[in-house]
Structure formats: C-alpha cells, structure tokens
Structure 1
C-alpha cells in the first residue's frame, strides 16, 4: 500500500525521493528494484562488466512487528528496495557509473590521493574556491538525489519526496539518520543511526566522503578535498569564526550578512518533532538562518585542547559495552564527547560534543548541526583524530564491534547509503579511500605525528 501511495504522489506532484532519481519511477517502486541502466544500455553497466543487479543482504536484527508501526530506516533499504546495483572491482554508484572512493579514471584504475588541509593552510585562491564550491552546492539542485519529508511518521500517506540542493541533501542525510528510532509505535531517543554508538565515527567518515564526492561531481573538480578545522590549537577560542573564514556572528546570534554564509538557512530547522521528517523542506523562507554564538554557553566556555586529543588517543579499545553514551574507556565514546579523555570514566562534555556546545546556535542542535558548514570542517578534524587512532592501532574492520544497536552493527547498511555500504567498511585507513591529512601544526602537539 505504501508504494502505491508513493507512486501516486510522484505522478501527481512530480517530486522525487531521497534515493537516486532514476529509481523513483512507478516501475522501480512497484518492483522494489533500484537497478538503473548505465550508458551502455544495460542494468548496472552489466554488459561493460561494471556491476550486477542483486538482492541486497541485510541482517534481520530488528524483528519488525507486522501489526505495529516501525521505522522506515530499519533493515535499510528494504522498506523501499530489495534489489540494487552491486558494483564489481573498483566501480561504485547507484548505477555503477562512478568509481569507489579513492579511485578515478574511465576504468576506475587510477588511485587518488587528495590531501585534506587545515582551512588556514589554504591559499587565498584555494579558500575562495572552497567557499565558491560550497555556495554552488548550496543553491544548485541535486541532479542525483532528493529527500524525504513527512508531516507524520506514523502515517505513510504523509510521506512526500522533494528536491533539494546538493549541500542540503548532505545536511538532510545527517538529520534523517539522527531522528529517533521508531519501533512498535514508540520512539527510542537514547540512540540514533549515526550517533551514540559504534557507528559514530564510521557514519561520519562515510558522510564526509559522500558529500566530498558529490561536490567533485557537481564542479567537475576531481581533486576537491574537504578542509578541516583543528580547534585543538586555538587556545579555547574559535579563530576561524570571522568573515575571512567561516563567518562572524552578529549581536543577535546569526551570521552577519557580509559572511560567506550570511544568507544560508538551515534545512529542516524550526520543526524538531520526533514524528515529522522535515515537513517544510520546500519552503526555505520558513527555515532559520545559520546561528552561532561561540563561547557564550556557560557550560562550554572553551574548547578541547591538544592535550585532550592526545589523552583520547591513548585509549586502546574502539568501543566497550553497552556501546552507547555511557560506555567507559571507549575511544569512540570519548571522541564523541561523553566521557573524559583523561580517565575514560568520568561523564563530561569534551571533544566533539564540547566543540558543538561551544559553537552554540545551529551547531549545538543535533538535528540541524550539519546545516552549518563549520560542522563539516569540525567533523573532518574528528575524522583526522580517528585516522590517527587507526594508524596507531593498525586497525581494520575486524575491530568493529557488534553492539545490537539498530543500524550500527558491522554488517548493517549505513542509513541512508545508496548504494549501500556497511558500517565496518569505514574502519580502514584513509588512504584506502583516497585521502590523507596535512600536518598542522606539529609543534603544538609536542612531537605527535599526523597523517
């Protein structure tokens, strides 16, 4: 019944889903199949040896009830599609028309190695190009993906599918993965598909790679890389919160009009109800401007230090039971910011969480933090810390734990990845995904080596 309603919605309103647009036809939804033809005319580029259309395996850990309302993201992506393109070798993409992260070329046989620099290492020309790319991504409608909205998650009749800009598709993905999990008519607000569990670091690594790749495709610049912001060397004050970089804040807590991002608005803002999916996504005038208020929250008057980073990196175990925000001596939970990096057992806001609270405004709001481009730079630095831990441990996906948290087990598919990718795939060295991080500045870290 749900798919009949979606098809009717598409035919009457001409809008699309958050999935690849070519997979939102009546036939694809009815057949529960997202296997588009590639330019050689075959599904998934099969005639060119790029991929095959196949049933997507997903562990059945959620035990869906047939007579009670459950989340559309459980057992992703089987609420929508059962069969999708599975790409061979180093091919990737919803039609296998792209290359896997880290590879390029017509046959995806050329290794990429882009360097993610600290934003203050960018030359003036590189910085302007970065801001120009973000601006284009913010205004240009995605030709590849759109997003899901709903006025009532309990009623599939209210599900609608609307277009969004390239940047807002990325921001929406974090919003969508963060919404409380619905099972048996009840919302679980203690965890999400992207946070408060083992998937925090791997989900955000995938997220950055996805958005980085979409901007490369949008601009035709295969060398574009996402910069990072190393807040640990700023002595507790945001040194990029000015109009030369990420924007100055006015007295009312919004970015000034002379900022690069002064006109930006936060997709899905203003409506934080658990039972809605971004109901005003089409109406930008109802969305909030970007807000930021560095250092004004009395609970977060400063940011983590380089010493805090080093303390976090000393923890050997990636994650520990119960694999949530109460986990002690857990590298993941310490970096996520719920435990002290010094002793690993004292509950305190630090690392990721402390930075977001310090920034305030949009960054401090869990559902819309990704609307602020500063979140991308912050998350890239968190990923750099994660990469240092992986390098130090020689970690591989074999270390990714089984937690039982919905959507965060090793073989479960990342929500909302299409093409689907498993959580454990992103516990590997950054070089396997075609990027590395610059050193910045090594002297402040007392001999620590960056990669």
Structure 2
C-alpha cells in the first residue's frame, strides 16, 4: 500500500504534460506501419526497427525479435468437436472475413518477440514490465501499480483522471498508431485465408480513445452469419469473441491493461493506474450519479470534459430510450456483417447519453456486497458447461460475475412472455443495464467513459474470486476446446497483436504489474436491505416471485432462452429497425 504522498504521484503530474502530442502505443490490430499496399499484399507485419547504433532489422533483430510465420499451433482453430453451427460459420469467408482465424486473414507473418519485449515491432515491454533507464532491456516493475477507488481520490486527482481520458479522445493530442478496418469487400470470397486488402480499406487519424472503442466494437460486432441453432437456442447474427462465454473476464482484463497503458502514455506518467467505481458501496454508488461529473450532471447528458463524447460505430436501430427517440440520433443503417465505416467516426455521430435506472425496467438496484457473497460461496470453477450466455450454474465464476446466475431470494421480472428466471441480470450485466443509454449496447459501450471504471471494478471482483479458486486448486481456464470461437483456452484474443491466448490472463494481477488498494473481503455474510430483494423495476410485470436458494449440486441450467442483456437488446434493435424502415 502506498503512502498518501506516493498516491499523489500516480495522479498529479504537471498538466503541461498533457499538451504534448503522444503517438499512442497499444497491443492490438492494425498497425499503421504495416498498412501499406506492399505489406498487405504480402500479408506481413514485421517493421524494421533500429536498436541503438545497430543497423535496422525486422522486429529489432537478435535480442529483440524475429519475423515469424504464424503457425496453426499459435492459436486454437476449429476442430470436429466444435459445435456444428460454429464450423459452418467459420468456414464461410463471406460471413466472417477478418476475425477468424485471428490474425491469419490479414497477416501471416508477424514479429515474435524475445524475452520480456512485446508490441507489434518488439519495442514495448510485456504487461508488468518497464524499460531500464537506457531503454535496453525490460525488467519486472518493482512496485505494482495501485488501482484505487475513484471516490477516495481528491478533487485534483479526479480532475487529472478526467482530463487524461478527455485528452485520449483528442485526435490532435493522442493520435493512434493504428488504423481501423472499415471495409471487408476486398477479402477473398473463395479462400478462407486470403485477402486483397489495400490501404484504402482502413481509416487513419483517429484518437487513442476512438481506437479502444473500435477494438471493443470489432470484437463484439454482428457477423454476416445467418441465424444459427445450438442446443435449441437461436444465436442470431452476433458471434461475440469477448462476451457471453468464458473469455469475458480474460478478454476484458487484457482490454483494461490496454486502457491503462494509454493513460500512462497520454499523461506521460508510467505510474498512472486505472481507478475503479465500487458499485457495491451502498453509501457512494448512488451519490456518484448526482455529484460526479465523470458520471453525469442531469441523468442523461455528460458534462464537463466529457460533454462532447460521441458514440463510435453507432449500430443501426439503436436509440435511447425508445420513449424519447430524439435523445440519440441514429447513424446510417448498416446491414448484418457490415463494418463501421469512415463516416461513423466523423459525420452525424450521436452524443453519449445515459438513462439511469430506467432502461428496459428490469434492473432496480446496482449489485451489492451481498450479491457478490452469494456468488462467492457457490463458485467452484472458472466456468462450467454449457460455457455460454445460457449458463446459469452458480458453480461458474464467469457466469456469476457476467451476470446470468439468479441469486437466492431475489425477485426478477417477467417480461415479453419470458419467465422471471430469464431476466436475472446481475453483477456486470446489471451495471450496464442500470446506467442505460449506450452503456446497454454490448459493442458500443466503451463510448461512455464509465465503461473503464466499471470494468476495473469487475476485474477487482474477479481478482477476489480467483483467490477462492486458488484455495480450491481449481484455478484453470475452462474449456480447452469445443465452444464458440474466441472462448477456448488457447484461442487467441481478438484482436491482440502480438498474439495472446485467453489462458494467459487467468493469473493474479501482480503478474501484470498491478494490485487494488483493497479487495472485497466477503468473509462474513453481508446483510441485504429488504427492498433489494426486489430487482424488478417493472410495475406491469406479470410475475415477481422470489428465487429459492440455489446450490451447485441441485441446480440445473435453464432451458429458457438467452439472458435479457442479450435477448432484449436484440428485440429492441429489431423493433427500432422496423420502425426506421417505415420512415
């Protein structure tokens, strides 16, 4: 634990640092250095790097890295054990041109870094490592960064956090070294691993914040695959590489490390740690919505340095809320599988909006310490079958923290003919739905800066839950194979670059160079206020029956459809799209 004076160092560098233009370094696709027609034609990303006084070499040469062909052993690829609908999806280059198998559709040769070097050109350090003074080697960070509760920061520290995030969204101050893919028309429609991409298929000149938002959008965007059926459930067009399955927590741990590294580079302060929003703190959680301008000033509009934040890659059919269609203007319509185009960064982009506590009328309270305790006492493994958004077993750490596990004694809504059990939206999902607005949209939610404080908190609870699995001896990424792309243990994280596998991020935070100021103790059973047993916020709900206590040995996964977070978004999107077509 750092002293108060040391804490200040994390946040209080001179604000003049923020006026310097920073080329932002990240660990994801697609590096501008490789987005020229020659490298795209050769499907090769191995930039020449000069180290010291040596002659430049690809990937920095011996001691740094070498250009290597991506072998099938690098990442999991589909096997006969994978679900039939996934096999059909993956083998159709029209439905999924660029994301799978990652990154072979775009690059087949990339840098393989040595030692503790990382980055697409081996000029960065691995997460948790820093360069020595002469920048010749990467060494383990001596003192882990401390991620702190946002509500414990003083006014100057909060202002520093907000200004740094705002500067990340300023293209003149924080231009990204990465381009984003805006067209898949030049991918081969006949070969699964060939492309005819050119530089014109990418957009350049975006900010670091826009790039991070795009990464999340690209990972969770709709595909061109028609509706599929798996174990009686209709997946529809969305095949998500980072949600509704085992990779949720590992993918977002990786993503938060990217965000934290951008905070450090934009601020010029390599000790900058990403704060968290403790939504389990009953005393402060509601106070945030009325007294903190990083959250809101008037329940819908962002204020202060975030007042001009906009929704990147706004999806067709999305408006907030349905009863107030003018609160968010919709961007040009995109069909299933089409990418966010260049205009959706620059033209007619809607402002970020929120709608606290009202979205879909299915989440009345933010998660509490009692909710976390109810989950902790039952988890036995990182994840359990069926390893997807239909998994409701309290044995699963991932399903519980993602939010699909009904908690004992709580009342849930019955909406649209679905049983109340289907509308158990807790923990991670509940916060997204409670905040409302763009935060309820899976792909676009990082457009709202509270995304990062929320997911820092999710990672904090994840860290606490991992302690129990370590004690049980069951801290292992499951499954090894056989589930949707992007969610198996050895699947490469989309769109990581260099390549990272899911299982690499199921480790304690100290392995990545950070800790939390505190972890939720959850050693004794917390009390729950009587009103919080009723999670239903819909006065017209037909059923408000409490759930009985659940145990891993007696509970069977529901045969009802997907959770409200996934199903309702699809229902709302389809409804608004139909209305839009009539206009």
Q: CA deviation at 1:148?
A: 1.6
Q: CA deviation at 1:128?
A: 1.3
Deviation larger for 313-322 or 428-437? 313-322
Partner deviation per Cα, 1:241-299 (whole Å, 9 max, x = no partner): 24634232436x3224xx33111111112536433222245643411111112122321
The answer to whether residue 56 in structure 2 is matched with residue 30 in structure 1 is: no
Distance 2:486 2:119 in 1: 21
Superposition pairs for residues 27-426 of structure 1, below 5 Å? Answer: 27-40=38-51, 41-47=56-62, 49-56=63-70, 57-61=74-78, 64-65=90-91, 69-105=95-131, 106=135, 107-111=137-141, 112-140=143-171, 141-150=174-183, 160-163=201-204, 164-183=206-225, 188-189=236-237, 191-234=239-282, 238-242=286-290, 244-250=292-298, 253-256=300-303, 259-271=304-316, 273=334, 274-281=336-343, 283-297=345-359, 298-314=361-377, 315-327=379-391, 328-329=393-394, 330-342=396-408, 346-347=421-422, 348-394=424-470, 398-402=476-480, 403-426=482-505
Distance 1:343 1:177 in 2: 35
Residues 419 and 281 from structure 1, CA distance in 2 versus in 1: closer, same or farther, beyond 3 angstroms? farther
Using structure 2 for the length normalisation, give the TM-score: 0.67
Residues 91 and 202 from structure 1, CA distance in 2 versus in 1: closer, same or farther, beyond 3 angstroms? same
For structure 1, the residue ranges without an aligned partner over 5 or more in a row are 1-16
Distance 2:258 2:514 in 1: 13
Distance 1:350 1:198 in 2: 17
Distance 2:338 2:397 in 1: 33
For structure 2, the residue ranges without an aligned partner over 5 or more in a row are 1-27, 79-85, 190-195, 229-234, 318-333, 411-419, 527-583
Q: CA deviation at 1:153?
A: 10
The answer to whether the Cα contact below 8 Å between 1:236 and 1:302 also exists between their aligned partners in 2 is no
Q: CA deviation at 1:209?
A: 0.4
Aligned pairs, number: 427
Residues 150 and 306 from structure 1, CA distance in 2 versus in 1: closer, same or farther, beyond 3 angstroms? same
The answer to whether the Cα contact below 8 Å between 1:101 and 1:433 also exists between their aligned partners in 2 is yes
The answer to whether the Cα contact below 8 Å between 2:129 and 2:513 also exists between their aligned partners in 1 is yes
Partner deviation per Cα, 1:341-375 (whole Å, 9 max, x = no partner): 44999541111111111100111122211111101
The answer to whether the Cα contact below 8 Å between 2:95 and 2:337 also exists between their aligned partners in 1 is no
Deviation larger for 23-32 or 96-105? 23-32
Q: CA deviation at 1:422?
A: 0.8
Residues 396 and 222 from structure 1, CA distance in 2 versus in 1: closer, same or farther, beyond 3 angstroms? farther
Distance 1:116 1:66 in 2: 43
Distance 1:237 1:269 in 2: 28
Q: CA deviation at 1:211?
A: 1.6
Larger Rg: 2
Match for residue 12 of structure 1? none
- Structure 1 vs Structure 2 CA RMSD: 3.0
Partner deviation per Cα, 1:201-254 (whole Å, 9 max, x = no partner): 001000010121123223321111111101011369532224634232436x32
Distance 1:343 1:203 in 2: 31
The answer to whether the Cα contact below 8 Å between 2:113 and 2:122 also exists between their aligned partners in 1 is yes
Q: CA deviation at 1:103?
A: 0.5
SS of equivalent residue, structure 2 residue 58: coil
Distance 1:265 1:279 in 2: 15
The answer to whether the Cα contact below 8 Å between 1:243 and 1:260 also exists between their aligned partners in 2 is no
Residues 445 and 209 from structure 1, CA distance in 2 versus in 1: closer, same or farther, beyond 3 angstroms? same
Residues 276 and 399 from structure 1, CA distance in 2 versus in 1: closer, same or farther, beyond 3 angstroms? closer
Using structure 1 for the length normalisation, give the TM-score: 0.86
